[in-house]
Amino acid sequence: MSLQQITWPEPIVRVQSLSNSGITAIPKQYIKPPSSRPSLAPPARDLHIPVIDLSNLVSAEPSLRSETLGLVSSACREWGFFHVVNHGVDHALMGRAREIWREFFYLPMEMKQCYANAPVTYEGYGSRLGVEKGIKLDWSDYFFSSLSSNLNEGSEKVAKSSSLLQVTRQTAARRLPGCVDCYVRDLDVQLIVYPLMCLGIADNHCVLTKLRRSDPAELAIEQQPSSATELVLARAELMLCLNELRRRNPARLAIEELVAEYSNELVKLCEKLMKAFSVSLGLEEDYLQKAFGGEEVGACMRVSFYPKCPQPDLTLGLSPHSDPGGMTILLPDDQVSGLQVRQGDDWITVKPVPNAFVVNIGDQLQVLSNSKYKSVEHRVIVNSAKERVSLAFFYNPNGNILIEPAKELIKEDQPPLYPPMTFNEYRLFIRTRGPCGKSQVESLKSPR
């Protein structure tokens, strides 16, 4: 089955609705097997992920710069996770981003449903990862947005590509494989999402095209684009429609603009970190950025909402996984902890540090560093007293570039551990399975 044909295998249940319904026992799909349940007992060891002051990377004092690079290197080798403070991102912007997304989850369910996602791209409002029927589910809802592949072109492009604009509601009616009907509630228009592949254009992006108002007189304009010219016209129509949507709904515009501003700041932070990772691995300063595709990198964001859970000892907010991409910059909830990082046989709870981001190495940096830097398994626990919101910004290589261990890090006694693979190929593999510990990147390792 092609990715375009994949659908959710079971009806989607919003975890927030379950939580708000006042149930005292969670449904069995959320109950993890005993070996995967979290221990809510106090930890045996009081360990914390390192906290690194990023401003020291540009200190006038060379010894402080190299000491900080040393801290980055040991955090990436031993933990795969660290906090950054003095990272250059405005603290007020961080707070606003978190709160505007929290408000999204407080919207009436009917409004959020306009953004319901499908497993073709995962774009939009979702409640499950993976499409295997009968799998155990996690206690969270999320909003997933894919950002521009060329983030350096400015905020406008990032804003346009925000999936908030892709107001989708899947219906039974499908015209071509992969086409999805969308209803834009605010405008009362029907749109149809056509993968560009339908027109023979080799690209996996979708375009929203051709609107059909509920006014029957306009039904006639509904047809699928059959040429590139029609596609251009359809795109223009789409832009008009989106502009109208913005005009009518300034609140939505506010969230898009904030996402754009936030994303641009996070890209700058990632570029800074990419340099630090390169140098601390003994590579040229721009090595990793170039390996990711230079300016043509990719990024996406998952905002997770973990509702209160009546039986937090039986389930998880997010199952153990390593991040498939390059690196992740997490803005955690400032009040409620939940993220746990694997350290040997233990799960270490990450405590909120004021105004800090949590940075972690993803599978692609593990591959490029030939496993010197570790993409470490992590998971999220929930609790019965407080809900939690987090924003995970994923900075990824360009999807079409082969990622393989840096030649400079290969030695006779350190052979390459991974075969070359594009991020698109890797991501496809992950998206069908959902969170699976470290099994995905480990399964690529060459036998030694």
Amino acid at 353: V
Taking the C-alpha atoms of residue 309 and residue 316, their distance in angstroms, rounded to an integer, is 10
Q: Is 302 in the site for ligand AKG (CB under 6 A)?
A: yes
**Which residues is 83 bridged to in the sheet?**
51, 358
Selection from 65, 444, 445 nearest residue 280 by Cα:
65
Q: Is 398 in the site for ligand AKG (CB under 6 A)?
A: no
Which residue from 130, 332, 397, 399 is in contact with ligand AKG, where contact means CB under 6 A? 332
Q: Is 49 in the site for ligand AKG (CB under 6 A)?
A: no
**Contact 301/11 with Cβ under 8 angstroms?**
no
Which residue from 131, 258, 330, 436 is in contact with ligand AKG, where contact means CB under 6 A? 330
Least spacing, CB of residue 142 vs ligand AKG, in Å:
7
Least spacing, CB of residue 339 vs ligand AKG, in Å:
4
Least spacing, CB of residue 200 vs ligand AKG, in Å:
35
Which residue from 259, 266, 269, 392 is in contact with ligand AKG, where contact means CB under 6 A? 392
Least spacing, CB of residue 245 vs ligand AKG, in Å:
28
**Contact 416/114 with Cβ under 8 angstroms?**
no
Least spacing, CB of residue 360 vs ligand AKG, in Å:
8
Which residue from 209, 390, 398, 440 is in contact with ligand AKG, where contact means CB under 6 A? 390
**Contact 422/430 with Cβ under 8 angstroms?**
no
Q: Alpha-carbon torsion 275, 278, 279, 283, what sign?
A: negative
Q: What letter does residue 116 receive in the DSSP assignment?
A: B
Q: Is 323 in the site for ligand AKG (CB under 6 A)?
A: yes
Alpha helices, H only, 336-394: 363-368
**Contact 366/375 with Cβ under 8 angstroms?**
yes
Q: Is 130 in the site for ligand AKG (CB under 6 A)?
A: no
- CA dist 366 → 211, 350, 370, 438 (Å): 45, 21, 6, 12
Q: Is 87 in the site for ligand AKG (CB under 6 A)?
A: no
Q: Is 26 in the site for ligand AKG (CB under 6 A)?
A: no
Least spacing, CB of residue 71 vs ligand AKG, in Å:
22
Taking the C-alpha atoms of residue 425 and residue 239, their distance in angstroms, rounded to an integer, is 31
Q: Is 298 in the site for ligand AKG (CB under 6 A)?
A: no
Taking the C-alpha atoms of residue 296 and residue 152, their distance in angstroms, rounded to an integer, is 8
Least spacing, CB of residue 145 vs ligand AKG, in Å:
12
**Residues 340-379 within binding reach of ligand AKG (CB under 6 A):** 378
The edge-to-edge listing of strands for the beta sheet with 180-184 is 180-184, 189-195, 206-213
Token reading at 366: 């593990």
Q: Which stretch binds ligand AKG (CB under 6 A): 98-106, 122-130, 248-256, 331-339?
A: 331-339
Binding footprint of ligand AKG on the chain (CB under 6 A): 302, 304, 318, 323, 330, 332, 338-339, 378, 380, 390, 392
